[in-house]
Amino acid sequence: MTITETELPGCFIIEPKVFFDERGYFMESFNKEKFNAAVGYGIQFVQDNQSFSTKGVVRALHQQIGEHAQAKLVRVLQGSVLDVAVDLRKESPTFGKHVAVELSYENRKQLFIPRGFAHGFVALTATVEFFYKCDNYYHKDSERGIIYNDPTLAINWKLPAEELIISEKDAILPKFKEAIL
């Protein structure tokens, strides 16, 4: 397993070692001991989530705040996404910056997003199955978000705007400057 820190401190790309043979493949997708050593602190994942999306679906940009903040370890089981993490830690030197990583069934990369980040993705293929681990339980009243097309963040979602499918809930999220107050 190779774990590489992105340009955003605390946010890591995880590339598992994959063993192929005539039967298919095997990989260790998570090892608590190796993972915690790489990120530098103990993570206790408590909830797994999975979603299905079709091409163009944007699920973004979401965050849990306060005592219900969540760190996430995300990956794709089928298809391909552009996965985005936005640093919302006001004390961070990369506050307001984002990282975008293509995660796919083929590359088997994962992204670790620490607490204090907003997260989202867009489905790049006809269908996508997306899986993630959280280190805290979902709490509706602690949910926040930022509109996916915020001009300050200037995220390139890799698809034309007319191909993006946004939920009613995500379409009314505030802009970055409003959300961080």
Catalytic residue among 98, 119, 132, 148: 132
119 is catalytic: no
CA distance linking residue 82 with residue 151, whole number of Å: 18
Selected catalytic residue, list 62, 98, 119, 148: 62
Catalytic: 62? Answer: yes
Q: Which residues are catalytic?
A: 62, 132
